[in-house]
């Protein structure tokens, strides 16, 4: 990447494309912040029958959906491809077959239009969702550096210190299940529908978070997380109750599980922010849509907390365009033989 100065930020309109998992999405974003259009076609209903994402079904659905989504996105922004400056596309991490659809589509567009292409890390994209706002809204405050970010999604749970734009120090991550994955697995145990996060949240609203004392894996002296012990504890409780052929207290189990996840996520994030002298905290990724998590971190943090609005927490292409903007203005241009990176970590600088 050419290291052009980041200040002052030049103007640029970026078309974002996202197909890393089970959302097909395209968006146009101006100057890394202003959403001109943002379309997401979720496949959740299609995968609900399997209780999770079925990779081959996901890839084939992306193929069907990506072109209409692009057309509608450009239409909604009242723009043509000639009005954008670059195409940003998720290169990884994610499901290989799903990533390939978006990346090849972006390549076709780049080749046909002559626009430059920028490959974006999906985790970095989640982080940049906190900079976005809609064109008809007033600008929201930008997160301040150094920034402590908690990225919590279906595939990742990471604590990252962000020193300035695109400069990451990965402090810790989950040693086993991602937080979202734990929500999805526990939802299945409780007979709740996929995706598990929203189902557990809804069930938990009727339940008592103190009904069951589930374990919290603090993993002292590290910034790592672990959720598999918690998941096993819920499973044991479910088996114990079922052995007595009693009705599962789903709401209480969901509320107690959610409380355990939220305690650890919030506790460690706030401690890390303090330990590394972060000015602000940022929470992003699908699990950041969780109401209990949002409430707890806002209540407990001693510094400003940035959490994107719910529609930007789960996968979308506006966040890809936002991250792509900062890479584009830094001079990143990727070649047409670029491959997907299904296990791409957030690159440390
Ligand atoms: O970021 P995302 O859309 O996709 C990945 O990059 O993985 O995150 C999806 C994850 C799923 O595990 C889903 O259950 C979880 O985010 N999720 C939630 C909520 N909404 C989505 N978890 C807890 N509470 C929610 N309200
Ligand atoms: Zn995601």
Q: Which two tokens stand for residue 146?
A: 């150094």
Q: Which two tokens stand for residue 230?
A: 């918690």
Task: Give yes or no for a cis peptide into 146 (omega within 30° of 0).
Answer: yes
Q: Are 25 and 41 in contact (CB under 8 A)?
A: yes
State the Cα–Cα distance between residues 200 and 187, nearest whole angstrom: 6
The model's pLDDT over 191-231, given as tens digits with 9 standing for 90+, comes to 999 899 999 999 999 999 999 999 999 999 999 999 999 99
pLDDT > 70? residue 5: no
Q: Which two tokens stand for residue 13?
A: 């309109």
* pTM recorded for the entire structure: 0.95
- Distances in Å between the Cα of 309 and the Cα atoms of 23, 87, 132, 159, 286 are 17, 24, 9, 20, 11
What's the sign of the alpha-carbon dihedral 16, 34, 4, 285? negative
Q: What is the pLDDT of residue 224?
A: 98
Mean of the pLDDT values across residues 260-286? Answer: 98
Ligand 1 atom closest to the CA of 315, numbered from 1 = 3
> Ligand 1: residues within 6 Å at CB?
21, 153-155, 180, 183-184, 195-198, 201, 285-287, 289-290, 314-315
CA 154 to centroid of ligand 2, rounded, Å = 7
Task: Give the other-Cβ count within 10 Å of 293's Cβ.
Answer: 25
Cβ-Cβ contacts under 8 Å for 71 (sequence gap 6 or more): none
Ligand 1 pocket mutation pick from 126, 158, 286 by most atoms within 8 angstroms of CB: 286
Q: What are phi and psi of 180, to 5 degrees?
A: -65, -35
Cβ-Cβ contacts under 8 Å for 143 (sequence gap 6 or more): 130, 131, 280, 282, 304, 306
Q: What is the pLDDT of residue 246?
A: 82
Q: What are phi and psi of 348, to 5 degrees?
A: -85, 150
The model's pLDDT over 8-40, given as tens digits with 9 standing for 90+, comes to 689 999 999 999 999 999 999 999 999 999 999
User: What are the DSSP calls for 183-235, one per residue?
Assistant: HHHHHHHTTPPSSHHHHHHHHHTTS-TTSS-------TTSS-B--HHHHHHHH
The model's pLDDT over 110-125, given as tens digits with 9 standing for 90+, comes to 999 999 999 999 999 9
CA 80 to chain centre: 28
State the Cα–Cα distance between residues 217 and 224, nearest whole angstrom: 9
Ligand nearest to the CA of 197: 1
Percentage of the chain exceeding pLDDT 90? 93
């Amino acid at each position: 990447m050419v290291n052009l100065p980041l200040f002052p930020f030049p103007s640029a309109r970026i078309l974002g494309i996202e197909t890393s998992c089970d959302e097909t999405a395209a968006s146009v974003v101006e100057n890394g912040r202003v959403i001109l259009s943002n379309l997401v076609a979720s496949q959740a209903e299609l995968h609900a029958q399997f209780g999770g994402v079925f990779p081959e079904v996901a890839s084939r659905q992306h193929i069907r959906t990506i072109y209409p989504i692009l057309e509608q996105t450009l239409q909604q922004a009242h723009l043509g491809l000639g009005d954008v400056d670059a195409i940003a596309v998720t290169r990884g991490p994610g499901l290989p077959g799903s990533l390939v659809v978006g990346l090849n589509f972006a390549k076709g567009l780049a080749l046909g239009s002559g626009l430059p292409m920028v490959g974006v890390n999906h985790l970095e994209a989640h982080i940049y969702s906190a900079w976005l706002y809609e064109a008809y809204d007033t600008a929201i405050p930008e997160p301040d550096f150094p920034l402590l970010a908690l990225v919590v999604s279906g595939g990742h749970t990471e604590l990252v210190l962000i020193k300035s734009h695109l400069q990451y120090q990965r402090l810790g991550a989950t040693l086993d299940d991602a937080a979202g994955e734990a929500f999805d697995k526990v939802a299945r145990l409780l007979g709740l529908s996929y995706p598990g996060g929203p189902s557990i949240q809804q069930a938990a609203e009727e339940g008592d978070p103190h009904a069951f004392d589930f374990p919290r894996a603090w993993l002292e002296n590290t910034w790592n997380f672990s959720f598999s012990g918690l998941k096993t504890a819920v499973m044991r409780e479910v088996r114990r109750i079922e052995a007595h052929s009693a009705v599962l207290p789903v709401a209480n189990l969901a509320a107690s599980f959610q409380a355990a996840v939220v305690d650890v996520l919030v506790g460690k994030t706030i401690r890390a922010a303090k330990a590394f002298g972060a000015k602000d905290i940022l929470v992003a990724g699908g699990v950041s849509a969780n109401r209990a998590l949002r409430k707890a971190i806002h209540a407990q943090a001693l510094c400003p907390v940035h959490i994107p609005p719910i529609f930007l927490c789960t996968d979308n292409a506006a966040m890809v365009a936002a991250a792509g903007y900062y890479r584009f203005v830094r001079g990143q241009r990727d070649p047409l033989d670029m491959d997907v990176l299904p296990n791409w970590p957030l690159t440390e600088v």
